[in-house]
Structure 1
Amino acid sequence: MADLNGKRVAILATHGFEQSELFEPRKALQNAGARVDIVSPESGKIQGFKHFEKGQEVGVDQPVNSSRAKDYDALVIPGGLFNPDQLRTNDEAIRFTREFFDEGKPVAAICHGPWLLINAGVVEGRKMTAVHSIHRDLANAGARVVDQEVVVDEGLITSRTPKDLAAFCSKLVEEIAEGYHAGQEEAVH
């Protein structure tokens, strides 16, 4: 497993995140040695979901309005239907997300998470995947959409659903360990 000691990763989420898509990447990152902060427009705790049923809450470590990409090595955006739908209309969440792309740092989004990337204006020309229901949204925003468990395009890691979490978490840790590699593209089937 890659060593992420000394690395700091932000997980951007709000109420309605898909529980497994936040907790499993966080655990993989922490197991590899990374410090992980939950960044949110909310304070206190945010509510997770297991599909449409309420799940566990998680504490917020940093407010998004005072968070900056320069303080982190990578960004993770979990899915869930409600979480990215709220984040994609939040100006601070969009700014924070865009900063990672401006700085060439790894960004990972799973399930509905790429909705936020569309509103941040960073998907055009990118090879990506996501939950099937937002494939057309991604394509309309200029992404090259494929149906694979995980896709990496120049430091952007995308995945479809919780069933792809093992591959997603593995690639996430690998990409953060390697850092940004402009011009490289790979896909895992």
Structure 2
Amino acid sequence: MGQLSNRNIAVLSESGFEETELTSPVQRLKEEGATVHIISSKPGKIQAMKGDHDWTIEVDVDKTISAANPEDYNGLLIPGGVLNPDALRKNDEAVAFVKAFFNAGKPVAAICHGPQVLITAEVVKGRKMTSTKTIKIDLVNAGAHWEDSEVIVDQGLVTSRSPHDLPAFNDKMVEEFAEGIHEKQHA
């Protein structure tokens, strides 16, 4: 039995996610005993990328956003990639799904470009965060306190910069998901 036995974790993604930013955390979550659901706008499969140009593996979608209830999940993971967060932030259902986790004080982990979705959900103001440097100014303009660190935890919000940070990101994600509700996690 791992730290996350009896925990349900939602992974919100569209095609164009950075492969290791979904596969590595999902593997770790499952190793810790969590039930993990890949949630996307459409049923079927979503496809990964490595870098900005190379399409790679396909991953089965477990539930569509419209069929998934945030109340059924203990934590939320948002992988990066250039295309994935951009597609999610255009989807009102996806943005509302993300906001529901913050409103309920549930832990959220976002890596690389993933925090772009949090900007659109208007949940970054006053939060200490990191991300890929290319969206630093977007986070700062949205009111986040950005710093260049491998992983930052702020009241249940876990952020990291890139696939290089996955070991630290995965450790802190598991820790926060195991802790559960954070009173100061907010929208």
Q: TM-score, normalised by structure 2?
A: 0.96
Q: Which residue of 1 aligns with 2:175?
A: 174
Cα deviations by residue, 1:5-33 (Å, 9 ceiling, x for unpaired):
10000000001000000000000000000
Which amino acid is the alignment partner of residue 153 of structure 1? D
Q: Which residue of 1 aligns with 2:7?
A: 7
Deviates more, 1:171-180 or 1:150-159: 171-180
Shift of 1:50: 0.7
In structure 1, C-alpha distance between the alignment counterparts of 2:134 and 2:22, rounded to whole Å = 20
**1:147 aligns to what SS in structure 2?**
coil
**1:84 aligns to what SS in structure 2?**
helix
Q: Which residue of 2 aligns with 1:161?
A: 162
State whether residues 19 and 50 of structure 2, in contact with CA within 8 Å, keep that contact through their aligned partners in structure 1: yes
Shift of 1:2: 5.4
Which amino acid is the alignment partner of residue 88 of structure 2? L
Q: Which residue of 2 aligns with 1:103?
A: 104
Q: Which residue of 1 aligns with 2:19?
A: 19
In structure 1, C-alpha distance between the alignment counterparts of 2:70 and 2:102, rounded to whole Å = 9
**1:80 aligns to what SS in structure 2?**
coil
**Alignment root-mean-square deviation, CA:** 1.3
Cα deviations by residue, 1:79-114 (Å, 9 ceiling, x for unpaired):
000000110110010000000000000000000000
State whether residues 105 and 184 of structure 2, in contact with CA within 8 Å, keep that contact through their aligned partners in structure 1: no
State whether residues 112 and 162 of structure 2, in contact with CA within 8 Å, keep that contact through their aligned partners in structure 1: yes
Q: Which residue of 1 aligns with 2:133?
A: 132
Q: TM-score, normalised by structure 1?
A: 0.95
- Give the gaps of 5 or more residues in structure 1: 185-189
State whether residues 126 and 143 of structure 2, in contact with CA within 8 Å, keep that contact through their aligned partners in structure 1: yes
In structure 2, C-alpha distance between the alignment counterparts of 1:101 and 1:15, rounded to whole Å = 24
In structure 1, C-alpha distance between the alignment counterparts of 2:48 and 2:184, rounded to whole Å = 36
In structure 1, C-alpha distance between the alignment counterparts of 2:4 and 2:87, rounded to whole Å = 30
Q: Which residue of 2 aligns with 1:63?
A: 64
In structure 2, C-alpha distance between the alignment counterparts of 1:88 and 1:129, rounded to whole Å = 18
Identity across matched positions, percent: 52
Which amino acid is the alignment partner of residue 176 of structure 2? E
- Give the gaps of 5 or more residues in structure 2: none
Which amino acid is the alignment partner of residue 62 of structure 2? D
Cα deviations by residue, 1:142-181 (Å, 9 ceiling, x for unpaired):
0000000000001000000000000000100111111233
Which amino acid is the alignment partner of residue 4 of structure 1? L
